[in-house]
Amino acid sequence: MEISELRGLLIGSKATGKTTFIRRLSRTKKSEYGLTMKSTDYNIELQIPKRDGSVVSVSVIISDTPGQRDFAYQSFSDGIKTDFIVMFYETNTLDTFNQLSIWLADIKNLGIIKNRKLPIFFVGNKIDLKDDRMISDQYIEAFLDSFKKRYNWDAPVQHYFISAIDSSTLDILTVLRRMFVITYKHMKAFNIQPTQEIYRLGGFT
Amino acid sequence: MNLDNLDPETVSIIKKEIHGMTYLNLGGYKLDKIPDFVFDMDNLGYLDLSYNNLSEINEIPSDLIYLSIRYNNIKYYDFANKGLKRIILEGNRINEVPLINSDNLLAINLSFNKLEQFPELKTKNLILLNLHGNRIFHVPDDLCRLSNLVKLYLGFNKIERLPDCFGELQDLKFFSIQSNNLLEIPASTFKIFRRIHFDFSNNYELRTPLNDINSMSLVNYGVEAPSINVYSDPKLRENTRKRSSDNVEFPWEKEIAIKEELYRRIMI
C-alpha cells in the first residue's frame, strides 16, 4: 500500500495559532486573515527523504477549523474527513490548555473514532513568549500519560512545542513531515486506508 | 518536593506573578499531598495541582482565589475555603459534593467526575458551571436561582429533562447539553434561544417539533443521527458573516464584559 496523500485536521480553541501555523507556509501576513469562520483546506506538498537516499513527494491536506465554537458547528455539520488530528493550545495561558479536554470529549464521542483511534498531535504554540510560558515539560508529560490512560489511545500520540511566528523554533514543515510519517507508518502497520469520515464536532468551551 | 531543587528555568515557568498575586503550577510532579512550602508562600493566589496523585485535600493556602486539581484521584472535596473564586476539579472521582454556599465562587468545574446528583448550590454569584461528563440524570429547579450564570455545561450526562423554569436564567449566554438523553425541551426555554448559544446535539431521544426549531435557525438536523444545534438570532449570524472577518463583535461578549471585572482575575 502506497499512500501519497493524507488529511489532517487542526482543532483547538480560538486564537491559539492554528491559522498562523498553516498560513506561515504561504507567507501571508497576519492582517490578511483574522478570525477563521469556516473550515478551510490547505494542500501542502512535502518532500520526504527515504532511507535509500531518494526523496518522495507526498501531499497533506490540512483542514483549518474555527476555534470559535459556533463557527465550528457550522463547519463540521457537513462532516469532515481526516487521517490525523492536530490539537492546538497556547503555552502562555492555562485556559486554552484546559479546554483541550472538551475538544477531546467531542472527538471521543464521534462514531468513527470510537471504532478506530486516529494519530493525535498536541501542539503547544507561542513558545517564543518565553517569559509568559505557563505549561512546563513536566505538565505535558503528565498530561500525555493521563490522556493515554484515560482514553486508552492506542494510536500514536505526540507533542510538539512550536512557535507559528518564530522560525528559530521547530520548523513547521518539519512538524508536518513528522506528522505525515508517523500517521503513514501507523496506517501501514494496521493496514488502514486513508480518509475516514468524522460526522461532526460539538460542545463549547 | 521543593522549588530549590528545580532548575531556574523551570521555576520561572511554574512560579509567576499574575494580577498582583503569586501563581504556582505544581502540575505533573506525582504529588500525593500538597507540599509544606506552599503554605508558607506569601500572597499565593493561584495554585495548579493538576496531574498529580492527590486523593484528598484537607487544607489549602488561605489566600487562594484559584485552585485547579484536574486529573487527580480525589473522591471528596469539602468546598470549605470561602475565598476561592474559581475551582477546577475536572477528571477526579468525586461522586458527591456537599452544599456549596460560598458567594465568592464565580466558576466551578466538576466535569468528568462521577456525580450522579446535581450539586446543591447556594452560590448567587456563580458565572460558570461545568458539569460535563458526569452521570447526572436530574436537574433540579434550584438551578434557576443561579441568576448570574453566563456559561452552563451539562454535556455528556444522562439528563432527560430540564426544569420548566430554565428560561428564567436571564444572563445565560452559552449552554451545552450535548450527548444526553433529553426527551423534550421545556417551552419556557424557547424564549432564551434567540440570544444564547445552545447545543442539543447527540440527544437521540429528543423529539422536538421541527417547526419550532426551524424558526430558531436550525443548523444541523440529520435523520439517521439527529444532531441539533440551535443558535442565537439568525439575523445575528447573518450579520456576523457579512462583517469583515477580523472585526467581529458579539453582543453577548459585551454583556459578559459587565462581569469582566469579577471574572478577569480568574482567567489565566
| pLDDT tens-digit readout, A18-72 | 888 888 777 666 666 767 777 788 898 988 888 898 998 999 998 888 877 666 6
C-alpha cell of residue B182 = 433529553
- Put simply, the answer to whether B197 touches A109 (Cβ < 8 Å) is no
Picking from B25, B199, B244, the nearest residue to A136 by CB comes out as: B25
pLDDT mean over A87-100: 90
With H, G, I as helix, E, B as strand and everything else as coil, classify residue B172: coil
Question: Per DSSP, what are the bridge partners of residue A64?
Answer: A10, A40
Picking from A93, A137, A141, the nearest residue to B268 by CB comes out as: A93
- Put simply, the answer to whether A131 touches B197 (Cβ < 8 Å) is no
Picking from A74, A146, A199, the nearest residue to B51 by CB comes out as: A146
**pLDDT tens per residue across span A5-18:** 898 988 888 888 88
- Full residue range of the structural domain in which residue B104 is found: 75-264
Picking from A30, A89, A139, A151 by the largest number of B CB atoms within 10 A of its own CB, the best residue to mutate is A139
Binding-face residues of A in 69-108 toward B, CB within 8 A:
69-70, 73-74, 77, 93-95, 98, 101-102, 105
- The Cα–Cα gap between A181 and B109 comes to 38
- The Cα–Cα gap between A120 and A85 comes to 5
- Overall domain count for chain A: 1
- Full residue range of the structural domain in which residue A11 is found: 5-198
Query: Could you list the pLDDT tens digit for every one of the 268 residues in chain B?
Result: 888 888 888 999 999 998 899 999 999 999 999 999 999 999 999 999 999 999 999 899 999 999 999 999 999 999 988 899 999 999 999 999 999 999 899 999 999 999 999 999 998 889 999 999 999 999 999 999 998 888 899 988 999 999 988 888 888 878 888 888 888 877 777 667 666 667 777 777 776 554 444 333 333 332 222 233 333 333 334 443 333 333 334 444 545 555 666 677 777 7
A44 within some domain:
yes
Residue of B nearest to A38 (CA): B241
With H, G, I as helix, E, B as strand and everything else as coil, classify residue A48: strand
pLDDT given for residue A74 in this prediction: 57
B226 within some domain:
yes
**Cα B165 to Cα A23, A25, A113, B44, B138, distances in angstroms:** 47, 52, 37, 40, 14
Complex-level ipTM: 0.86
B217 within some domain:
yes
**Cα A75 to Cα A64, A176, A203, B123, B248, distances in angstroms:** 10, 23, 13, 37, 18
Instruction: Looking at the complex, report in whole angstroms how far the Cα of residue B76 sits from the nearest Cα belonging to chain A.
Output: 20
Picking from A31, A145, A202, the nearest residue to B178 by CB comes out as: A202
Instruction: Looking at the complex, report in whole angstroms how far the Cα of residue B15 sits from the nearest Cα belonging to chain A.
Output: 8
Which carries the bigger pLDDT value, residue A131 or residue A107?
A131
Using alpha carbons, select from A82, A132, A138, A103 the residue that is nearest to residue A12: A103
B102 within some domain:
yes
Picking from B28, B112, B241, the nearest residue to A101 by CB comes out as: B112
- The Cα–Cα gap between A69 and B231 comes to 11
**pLDDT tens per residue across span B46-100:** 999 999 999 999 899 999 999 999 999 999 999 988 899 999 999 999 999 999 9
> For residues B199 and A203, is the Cβ–Cβ distance under 8 A?
yes
pLDDT given for residue A29 in this prediction: 67
Residue of A nearest to B89 (CA): A98
Q: How confident is the model at residue A173 (pLDDT cuts 50, 70, 90)?
A: confident
Q: Which H helix or E strand runs over A98?
A: helix A95-98
Binding-face residues of B in 69-98 toward A, CB within 8 A:
70-71, 88, 90-91
The CATH number assigned to the domain holding B122 equals 3.80.10.10
B23 within some domain:
no
C-alpha torsion sign, points B163, B167, B171, B176:
positive
B47 within some domain:
no
- Put simply, the answer to whether B133 touches A105 (Cβ < 8 Å) is yes
With H, G, I as helix, E, B as strand and everything else as coil, classify residue B178: coil
- Overall domain count for chain B: 1
- Put simply, the answer to whether B201 touches A200 (Cβ < 8 Å) is yes
Residue in this structure with the C-alpha cell 451545552, named with its chain if needed: B176
How, if at all, do strands A55-64 and B197-199 pair? Answer: unpaired
Picking from B25, B222, B229, the nearest residue to A202 by CB comes out as: B229
Q: Which H helix or E strand runs over B14?
A: helix B8-14
A197 contact residues in B (CB cutoff 8 A): none
